[in-house]
Amino acid sequence: MYLRRGEGQRLGGCGALIVGLIFLIIGGGLLFYTSSSYLNAQRFPGARCTILKKSIVTNSSTDSDGNVTENYAPSFSLHVQPNNRNPAYDTQSSYGVNQGSTNDYNQVSGIVNRFEVGQVYQCWYDPSNPSYTLLDRSPNLLFLGISTLFTLIGLLIFFSGVQRIIRKLLLLLGFVFLGLRSLNRQ
């Protein structure tokens, strides 16, 4: 796999290092964010949540050409009863860890339809910020997959660049050695 800089020119070792580092920084940052959010949510204590209200929040945006894009996110009003001696409270919740909005209405509708108003479900809350309550604390696999892919691509490109630079250095050292050897023979 060669990255092209221009017609017939390969991206050299230094260029591959830079591109690889960019992918590593982006992928590593996303991977760190995703995994740390997930691991943090695993430490949240459990509670019993009664669904008071459920809805799909719609956010519309218009680009410079006038095209309208709609994104959807699940929203729940909850009555939270912690499993310890903390008092019960009401709060708003989206759904899960790293749960953002999506343009897939059916996906969000499927999430919202899994829960019935008036029913009690297992949930988890952040003790330092009890209003942050999750109905699902599993990782966002799409986000995790994309960040892992960026990281792996970055590693491949980076080490490809390192390999090219080492080859060039070894070749240069070989020429220097041959030059010194020929000087010593004279």
Q: How many residues does the chain have?
A: 186
Q: Class of 45-136 per CATH?
A: mainly beta
Domain ranges for the chain? 11-35+144-180, 45-136
More confident residue, 83 or 148: 148
CB count in 10 Å sphere of residue 164: 18
pLDDT digits (tens, 9 = 90+) for 89-123: 888 776 776 567 788 899 889 989 999 999 999 99
Secondary structure element (H or E) that encloses residue 181, with its range:
helix 141-185
Is this model's pTM higher than 0.75 or not?
Answer: no
Residue matched to tokens 């050695």: 177
For the chain, the maximum distance between any two Cα atoms, rounded to a whole number of angstroms, is 96
pLDDT greater than 60 at residue 56: yes
The mean pLDDT value for 72-81 works out to: 90
